Amino acid sequence: MTKPSPGVRATYDEQADVLGISLDRTVRAMRVQQLASNVRADWDKNGRLLFIEVLFASEWYPVEHLKRLASPAVDLTLKEAAKRSGLTASTLKDQILKRRMVGRKVGRDWVVTAADLETYLVNRAPQGKPATARRARRPKAQPA
């Protein structure tokens, strides 16, 4: 039996109850195919299978086995998150401390997941001064 390549990775997202099996993370998926009502697969442009996702995984596999798998969450330091978001690391830390963004302290460093950073960026308030109500303009009277 051949040993799986180092690119193969199985993850389990307990909150979403999704099992993911990544066969090759270096290639971009070009096509998604629904294999069953709760299973989808990603394929590259040459028809190679890249990723399998199983929804409601706990209905098919024992939860105690699934929980042993790694989480798909990717931790970013605030410096890395700042590069991705275009915000400063201190701004991100302030947002965590104000509970506007989810983050946690690991040792001396603050980290956020890529998903939590994206959620914050999508849902944050617009920048600048609050919008003011605009008055409806009346057309100027035309001279007779």
Q: Where does the pLDDT of residue 144 fall: very low under 50, low under 70, confident under 90, or very high at 90 and above? A: low
pTM for the full model?
0.51
CA 135 and chain centroid, separation = 40
Element (H, E) at 123: helix 114-123
Task: Indicate the SS3 state at residue 84.
Answer: helix
- Spatial contact of 110 and 96, defined as CB atoms under 8 Å apart: yes
pLDDT, tens digit, for every residue of 36-63?
Answer: 999 999 999 999 999 999 999 999 999 9
Sign of the alpha-carbon torsion through 106, 111, 113, 114: negative
End-to-end CA distance of the chain: 94
CA dist list (Å): 120 to 35, 59, 63, 73:
33, 31, 30, 15
% of the chain at pLDDT higher than 90: 49
- Spatial contact of 49 and 29, defined as CB atoms under 8 Å apart: no
Going across the sheet that includes 109-113, the strands are 75-77, 109-113, 104-106
Q: What is the pLDDT of residue 73?
A: 75
